[in-house]
Amino acid sequence: MTPLLRLAGVSCRKGPSSILEDVSFEANAGERIALLGRNGAGKSTLLNIIAGLEPASGGTVLLEGRPVERCSPVERARTVCHLPQGVRGELPFSARQLVMMGRYPHADRWFESEQDCVAVEDAMRRAGCETFGDRPVSTLSGGERQRVLLAACLAQGSRLLLLDEPSTFLDVDQQLHCFGLLQEETRRGAACIAVTHDLNLALRFCTRLVVLAERRLALDCTTAEALADTHWLSLLSSRLQLTEAGGRRWVAFA
């Protein structure tokens, strides 16, 4: 079975600086991968390369077996959705219009179909932002805007979700809801790669951990393996430890 995503020896240089070196891994339908690493490890750059937003300096990126650079923008958008880390808040659109933009890869020129409208309303309901659909994006709080952007990704209906810190600005309940939605999407056959600094969310909701360190892939393991052998915590901080109580394990400060 062809993986949704295959990275082989991906490298990236920006000027004299090496950002990524020889990164290789795959993502298959049903997987939820937490992409971890310290600030500057290259996580956002890697997502941009996978999405075809910036080129790799070396290596290959295959989307469903096809080189990403050979996919048209529409083909890429039907396969991959990308939630960036930062989006301007002064966009001149309503929340619903912004979510509708997620349907553009499926639209017939400039016309919105009944199917598009149904997909948008369903995505907004699932993301919990249907009540402020008519409000300008510029009037939304950071958390409200993040839920709208997540709804746009859901409406896009892509099989590979790339999310750069999707729980940014969200309160605790909404963070849990956000990762629960990603769980639902992978159960429907999608794959998800989410950058996060919340290790407990990663361990609770994700099936795999991928850690970048020193420009390279430092760890690729299942969540169960990460809970059994915690040496990887030192890649992120020397002040972390795994704590257990009531049959549950979580990361805490040492």
The amino acid sitting at 208 is: R
For the chain, what are the domain ranges? 5-253
pTM here? 0.95
pLDDT score recorded for residue 33:
98
The closest of 150, 157, 103, 142 to 125, measured between CA atoms, is: 150
pLDDT score recorded for residue 209:
98
pLDDT score recorded for residue 246:
83
Q: What gap in Å lies between CA 135 and CA 34, rounded to an integer?
A: 32
* Percentage of the chain exceeding pLDDT 90: 90
Asked if residue 89 has pLDDT above 70, the reply is no
Identify the DSSP state of 29.
Answer: T
Confidence of residue 132 (pLDDT cuts 50, 70, 90): very high
Asked if residue 87 has pLDDT above 90, the reply is no
CATH number of 5-253: 3.40.50.300
pLDDT digit string (tens) for 216-242?
999 999 999 999 999 999 999 999 999
Q: What gap in Å lies between CA 142 and CA 161, rounded to an integer?
A: 21
